[in-house]
Chains A and B, each alone.
Chain A
Amino acid sequence: MDILLPVIAALPFLGALLPGLMIRAGRATCASYTALSSGLAFLLLLICAPTVMQGEVLHFRLDWLPALGLNVTFMLDGLGLLFAGLIIGIGLLIILYARYYLSHDDPMGQFYTYLLLFQGAMVGIVLSDNILLLLVFWELTSLSSFLLIGYWTHLPEGRQGARMALTVTGLGGLAMIAGMLILGNIAGSYDISVILTQGEAIRDSEMYVPALLLILLGAFTKSAQFPFHFWLPHAMAAPTPVSAYLHSATMVKAGLFLMARLWPVLSGTPEWFYIVATTGLVTMIIGAVIALFKDDLKALLAFSTVSHLGLITMLLGFGTKMAAVAAVFHIINHATFKAALFMTAGIIDHEAHSRDIKRLGGLRRLMPVTFVIATVASLSMAGIPLLNGFLSKEMMLEEAVHTVWMGSYYMMPALATLGALFSVAYSFRYIVHVFLGPVRDDYPGHPHDPGFGMWAAPALLVVAVVAIGVAPFLAEPLVRTTAHAVIGGELPEFHLKIWHGVTPALFLSGTAVIGGAVLLAAHAPLMRGWLAAPRPEAKVMFDATARGATRLSGWLSDSMHNGSLTRFAAIFTITVVAAGLWAWGGAGIGAPERTMLPIRALPAVGWLVLIVSTGCLIAFHRNRLLALVLLAGVGLSVSMAFVYLSAPDLALTQISVEVVTIILLLLALNFLPKTTPIESSTMRRLRDAALAIVGGVAVSALTYAILIRDFAFDSISAFHLANSYKGGGGHNVVNVILVDFRGFDTYGEITVLGIAALVIFALTDTVLRGPGGRWLVRWGAGTDEAGDRHPLMMVVATRVMMPIALLVGVYIFLRGHNEPGGGFIAGLVVAIALLMQYMASGFAWAEARQRTPYHALIAAGVLIASLTGVGAWLAGRPFLTSDYGYITLPPLEKFEWATAMGFDLGVFLTVVGAVMLALNSLSSMARRRGETINIYPMDINPERPDSPPPPPTGPGGEKET
Chain B
Amino acid sequence: MIVDILISAFLVISGIFGLVGSVGLIKLPHPMMRLHAPTKATTLGVGGALIASLLYFYFVAGRFSYHELMITLFLFLTAPITGNFIAKVHIHRHETRDSLPSTGSERPWATFESDEDRIRAEGHEL
State the A residues within 8 Å of B (CB): 784, 786-788, 791, 793-794, 797, 800-801, 932-933, 935, 939-940, 944, 946-952
Contact = CB atoms under 8 A, between A and B. Distances in A.
Contact of A797 (B81, B105, B118, B123): B81
Given A786-B88, A787-B113, A932 B126 contact: yes
A183 to B, nearest CB: 70
Interface in B97-126: 105, 107-108, 110-115, 117-118, 121-126
A526 B73 CA distance: 106
A951 B125 CA distance: 9
B65 interface: no
Contact count band on B: 20 to 34
16 contacts: A786-B111, A787-B108, A787-B114, A788-B113, A791-B84, A791-B110, A794-B81, A794-B85, A932-B126, A933-B126, A939-B113, A944-B122, A946-B122, A947-B122, A949-B123, A952-B125
A98 B84 CA distance: 83
B118 to A, nearest CB: 7
A787 B110 contact: yes
B115 A787 contact: yes
Contacts of B115: 787, 932
Nearest to A795: B81
Contacts of B78: 797
A824 to B, nearest CB: 24
Nearest to A945: B122
Interface in B71-87: 77-78, 80-81, 84-85
Contacts, number: 56
B92 interface: yes
Nearest to B74: A801
Contact of B122 (A793, A801, A949): A949
A123 B38 CA distance: 82
B124 A949 contact: yes
B121 A788 contact: no
B115 to A, nearest CB: 5
A784 B107 CA distance: 19
A786 B126 contact: no
Contact of B118 (A787, A800, A948): A787
A589 to B, nearest CB: 46
A787 B122 contact: no
Tell me whether chain B's interface is mostly helix, strand or loop, or mixed: helix
Contact of A946 (B84, B112, B121, B126): B121
B78 to A, nearest CB: 8
Contacts of B105: 946
Given A948-B123, A952-B125, 13 more contacts: A786-B88, A787-B114, A788-B110, A788-B113, A793-B80, A794-B84, A797-B77, A932-B115, A939-B118, A944-B122, A946-B105, A947-B121, A949-B124
**A-B interface, 10 closest residue pairs, ranked by CB to CB distance from nearest:** A949-B124, A787-B113, A788-B110, A949-B123, A940-B110, A786-B111, A947-B123, A949-B122, A797-B77, A787-B111
A455 B96 CA distance: 96
Contact of A800 (B77, B117, B121): B77
Contacts of B84: 791, 793-794
A787 B112 contact: yes
Contacts of B117: 787
Most buried by A among B78, B81, B114: B81
Nearest to B105: A946
Give the one of A784, A793, A950 with max B CB within 10 A.
A793
A388 to B, nearest CB: 91
Interface in B50-95: 77-78, 80-81, 84-85, 88, 92
Contact of A952 (B77, B92, B113, B124): B124
Contacts of A951: 124
Contacts of A949: 122-124
A793 B118 contact: no
Given A939-B110, A946-B107, A946-B121, A801 B77 contact: yes
Contacts of B124: 935, 949-952
A357 B15 CA distance: 108
Contacts of A784: 92
B90 to A, nearest CB: 12
Contacts of B107: 946
A757 B105 CA distance: 48
Nearest to B89: A786
Contacts of B126: 932-933, 935
Contacts of B81: 793-794, 797
Contacts of A793: 80-81, 84
Interface string B15-56: 000000000000000000000000000000000000000000
Contacts of A939: 110, 113, 118
Contacts of A944: 122
A784 B95 CA distance: 12
A947 B88 CA distance: 26
Contacts of B108: 787
Nearest to A944: B122
A569 B83 CA distance: 41
Contacts of B113: 787-788, 939
A225 B67 CA distance: 84
Nearest to A941: B122
Nearest to A788: B110
Nearest to B117: A787
Nearest to B91: A786
A458 B40 CA distance: 103
A781 to B, nearest CB: 10
A939 B126 CA distance: 12
